[in-house]
Structure 1
Amino acid sequence: MPVLAAPSAPTHELPGARFTALATPSRGSTDTSVWQVEIDPGAPATPHSVTREEVFVVLEGTARVRLGESEQLAGPGAAIVVPAGVPFALAATGPAPLRAVCLLPVGGQAQLPGGEPFTPPWAR
């Protein structure tokens, strides 16, 4: 199926964040998982790492990005490239929610500090 209609509502929610699966194996993609994430201002960042390179493209708002020991801001149009194995955290800064599209190769997993790798439900 070459065209996948966007879901009418987020497919997964966590406190302060909503995820909408756009192209994932459960929706018909085979090589790349794509989702939209919306993070509320003030929602705490969740430090984690990934087993494959992950890319975010900021659509709206401003992201506070921590990669390893480095911290930067990213605004609309910016691409955030998260290397595999590097501690990472993303938060909305400013008055508006952060909205971004995220891409992760199928099979890529997230890992919380001290935890086992897992596939986020919005990437399945």
Structure 2
Amino acid sequence: MPMIPRSTDLHHMHGATFTPLASPRRGSQETSVWRVALAADAPATPHQVTREEIFVIEAGRVSVELGGERFEAGVGDVVVVPPATDFALAAIGGGLARALVCLPVGGQARLVDGTTFTPPWAE
């Protein structure tokens, strides 16, 4: 499908809102793309991914914990998360943060408790 209409399907998890843009369910075959909005002061959710995940920060500022390092990212910055690397992202500065996110189809999230799942916004 060369054009995918705007999604009204929202997913809420751990203080974040996910809006699917492109995914196999929505017509893409190789790459899932979504927008995530991180609520101000919502705690970060540590996890890993099974495939490389890319965040393009569109609004606000985020605190990033990635592979034992901690740094901040703002509008226009890109965060690249390698597979099987501990990772957490949270909005900072008292406001909402938003990012465009890309993950190859088939990528999964793995929570600290070992739960592995395909995010519904990436299916």
Unaligned runs of 5+ in 2: none
**Counterparts of 2:6 and 2:72, CA distance in 1:** 28
When the two structures are superposed, what TM-score results if normalisation uses the length of structure 1? 0.95
- Structure 1's consecutive aligned runs of 4 or more residues displaced over 6 angstroms after TM superposition are none
When the two structures are superposed, what TM-score results if normalisation uses the length of structure 2? 0.95
**Counterparts of 1:6 and 1:64, CA distance in 2:** 29
**Counterparts of 2:24 and 2:15, CA distance in 1:** 25
User: What is the correspondence of 1:84-123 to structure 2 with a 5 Å cutoff?
Assistant: 84-123=83-122
* Percentage of pairs with the same residue: 52
Unaligned runs of 5+ in 1: none
* Equivalent residues, number: 123
RMSD (Å) for aligned C-alpha atoms: 1.1
Q: CA deviation at 1:14?
A: 2.2
Q: CA deviation at 1:109?
A: 0.5
Residue identity opposite 1:111 in structure 2:
R
Q: CA deviation at 1:15?
A: 4.5
User: What is the correspondence of 1:45-124 to structure 2 with a 5 Å cutoff?
Assistant: 45-124=44-123
Which residue number corresponds to residue 6 of structure 1? Answer: 6
1:16 aligns with 2:15: yes
